[in-house]
Chains A and B, each alone.
Chain A
Amino acid sequence: MLEQTGFVEVQIGPGWDTFGGARGEDNARAFEVYGYPFLARRSG
C-alpha cells in the first residue's frame, strides 16, 4: 500500500511483542500480531 500511494525505499524493522503480558495478548497471539517500525521515502 505504501508503494501504491507514492512511497519508495520501504524498509520494515524487527518486530516488538507489543501486546505480551497485556489484556490483548490472547488475540495478538492468535493472529501473530506484532508492532513493527517502517521507513519510506516520498517519491518525486
Chain B
Amino acid sequence: MTEMLVDPSVLREQVREKYREVATDPGATFHFHTGRSLATRLGYPDAVVEALPDAAVESFAGVGNPFVLRTLQTGERVVDVGSGSGFDSVVAAGQVGPDGRVIGVDMTKEMLDKARLTAAQLGLEQVEFRAGLAEELPVPDSWADVVISNGVINLCADKAAVFAEIRRVLRPGGRLQFADIANGRPVPVEAMRDVDLWTG
C-alpha cells in the first residue's frame, strides 16, 4: 500500500480551488505559466494553437506536451485524465478525427463548463467531458486505446492508484502518453507533507 504524504481529500480540495481560479480568472498570476504562451513554450504547433479561440487556450496549465513522443492515430479512443479547460482534449480531437472519441475527465466544475463550451463552439462532436477523479475514472474497463494527461498525476496523493485506474480503462496494449513534472534533487519529507506546497 502506498504511504500517503498528505490527506488526499484535503489536497484534492486545494487543487480544485487553485484550478477553479485558473478557469475563472486566467489573466491572474500563478506560480506556473498558463495560456497561449505556455502552449507555444511547450512545443505545440503554432498552427494548432493559433487556430483556437482564446477561451480554448487561456486556462491551459499543462507542464509539458503529451503528444511529442507519439501522435494519436485516426479513429483512436482517448481518455484525457484531468482535462481542465479542454485544451489537450481539443488537440487530441484534431488528431483522432471525427471517427475517434475523446473523453475528458476533470473534478473542477468551472473547468468542465469551460471545456464543454469550447467543444460545442468548435463543433467537436467526438469530444465529451465527464466529472470524475483520476482515481475513479467514469470510463468502462478497457475502453481506451490511449490515455493522455498533462501535469495532473503529480497533484494526486496516491499515484499508484491513479496508474492502476489508467491501466483499468486502457485496452491491453493501449498507450499511456502523458506529461508531468519530476525533480532531480530530493524534496525533504517535511516539505512533501506540507499540503500547501503541493499547489504552490
Interface residues of A (CB under 8 A from B): 1-2, 4-7, 11, 13, 16, 18-19, 21-24, 27, 30-44
Interface residues of B (CB under 8 A from A): 29-33, 41-43, 62-66, 68-70, 151, 159-160, 163-164, 167, 170-187, 197, 200
For A9, the closest partner residue in chain B by CB is B175
Interface pair A42/B182, CB less than 8 Å apart: no
Among A1, A13, A22, A35, which residue has its beta carbon within 8 angstroms of that of B69?
Answer: A13
Interface pair B174/A36, CB less than 8 Å apart: no
> Known contacts being A35-B181, A36-B179, is A5 close to B174, with CB within 8 Å?
no
Interface pair B179/A38, CB less than 8 Å apart: yes
Minimal beta-carbon separation of B185 from chain A (angstroms): 5
> Known contacts being A21-B33, A39-B70, A42-B174, is A6 close to B167, with CB within 8 Å?
yes
> Known contacts being A5-B164, A36-B180, A42-B173, is A18 close to B63, with CB within 8 Å?
yes
Among A11, A22, A38, A39, which residue has its beta carbon within 8 angstroms of that of B180?
Answer: A38
Interface pair B32/A34, CB less than 8 Å apart: no
Chain A residues lying within 8 Å of B175, measured Cβ to Cβ, are: 39-42
Interface pair A43/B42, CB less than 8 Å apart: no
Among A5, A18, A33, A39, which residue has its beta carbon within 8 angstroms of that of B177?
Answer: A39
Minimal beta-carbon separation of B139 from chain A (angstroms): 14
Chain A residues lying within 8 Å of B186, measured Cβ to Cβ, are: 31
- The 9 A-B residue pairs with the shortest CB-CB distance, nearest first, are A32-B184, A24-B31, A35-B64, A35-B63, A5-B163, A39-B69, A31-B183, A23-B31, A42-B170
Chain A residues lying within 8 Å of B200, measured Cβ to Cβ, are: 23-24
Chain A residues lying within 8 Å of B167, measured Cβ to Cβ, are: 5-7, 42
Interface pair B30/A41, CB less than 8 Å apart: no
Interface pair B181/A36, CB less than 8 Å apart: yes
Chain A residues lying within 8 Å of B70, measured Cβ to Cβ, are: 39
Chain A residues lying within 8 Å of B173, measured Cβ to Cβ, are: 41-42, 44
Chain B residues lying within 8 Å of A11, measured Cβ to Cβ, are: 69
Among B29, B63, B171, B178, which residue has its beta carbon within 8 angstroms of that of A16?
Answer: B63
Among A19, A37, A39, A44, which residue has its beta carbon within 8 angstroms of that of B172?
Answer: A44
- Cα A1 to Cα B158 in complex, Å, equals 11
9 more A-B contacts (CB under 8 A) besides A7-B163, A27-B31?
A1-B160, A16-B63, A21-B33, A22-B32, A22-B33, A35-B63, A39-B175, A40-B177, A42-B176
